Amino acid sequence: MYKIVSKQVLNPTVTKMEIEAPLVAKKAEPGQFIILRTDENGERIPLTVADYDREKGTVTIIFQIVGATTNHLNTFNEGDYIQDFVGPLGRPTHTEGLKKVAVVGGGVGCAIAYPVTKKLYDMGVEVHSVVGFRTKDLVILEDEFKNHSNVFKLMTDDGSYGEKGLVTNALEQLIKEGNQYDEVITIGPLIMMKFVCKLTKEYNIPTVASMNPIMIDGTGMCGGCRLTVGGETKFACVDGPEFDGHKIDFDEAIKRGQMYKEFEKHAYEESCNLLKKEVE
């Protein structure tokens, strides 16, 4: 059993939890993920390591409430225990040899982008962070990014906070200002990453995209995270989750991701009804 040390609501649909898991914290690196179960009857879900504290022996996760399990997990509070917390899994983000990097995050994907940003900045790399959200109410980790970035750009679709526009607008502006990046790292919705990679390909900038959004069971057995990279079949959870963004078939990944939307919606609604009955 793993104790929830702290819980924080970041916005109406995103929650941050710090979990006591010393063995995982000892080896966790940015880019990796864990698999958890809320209880002995719960499903296994992968969640990215958002941060870790090796001295305290804790691992931080940030999750969006989109399905039955994340909805159930959100009912847990500080002091409660979850059944399983296994990891770290996946390949860590490659950080060696980089001197100047742009990290582009979107929505809840910023929870994955932040630990990468933090590690690069602490290594002495010049980091330019571009983060995007639909509206001001959905902004997360603003101060954390600011404290670990040499340049910070915050974009909102509706202009309610930061600058109005897309992350690609801000990234292209930085490129046109003469910034020469060794690499661009992008993490967020598939459609966002698709257009970030399309932009960087035009400027011939090496780009890494995290395919965390398509992972399901985290082992490669379910096949849900199957994708095509450079004409070859890969699995996000065991071969990644990060790949050369210029080689990913995003259209295929987006199409496959849409297959599960109705199922997730149904499971989420059933979970909500069960929770209501328990309260009654």
CATH code of residue 203: 3.40.50.80
Residue 186 sits in which domain range?
Answer: 100-210
Buried/exposed 211-224: b ≥16 CB within 10 Å, e otherwise = bbbbbbbbebeeeb
Asked whether 5 and 78 are in contact (CB, 8 A), the reply is yes
Decide if 218 is inside a domain. Answer: no
- Examine the pLDDT at 104 and tell me if it is beyond 60: yes
55 and 8 assigned to the same domain: yes
Q: What is the pLDDT of residues 38-55, one digit of tens each?
A: 888 888 888 888 899 999
How many domains does the chain contain in total? 2
Summarize the confidence of residues 53-82 as an average pLDDT: 90
Same domain (yes/no): 13, 77: yes
Q: Which tens digits make up the pLDDT trace of 116-149?
A: 999 999 999 999 999 999 999 999 999 999 999 9
Least confident of 175-184, 224-233, 259-268: 259-268
Give a yes or no: residue 65 inside a domain.
yes
On whether both 85 and 110 belong to a single domain, the answer is no
Specify if 273 maps to a domain: no
Q: pTM of the full predicted structure?
A: 0.81
Q: Peptide bond before 22: cis, by omega within 30 degrees of 0?
A: no
pLDDT attached to residue 261: 56
- Distance of alpha carbon 218 from alpha carbon 96, whole angstroms: 26
Taking a C-beta distance cutoff of 8 angstroms, is the pair 58, 25 a contact? yes
- 35 pLDDT above the threshold of 80: yes
Which contacts of 167-170 are long-range, i.e. CB under 8 A and separated by 24 or more positions? 167/104, 167/105, 167/106, 167/130, 167/131, 167/132, 167/192, 167/196, 168/192, 168/195, 168/196, 168/199, 170/130, 170/132
Q: Residue 80: what pLDDT?
A: 95
Q: Are residues 83 and 104 in the same domain?
A: no
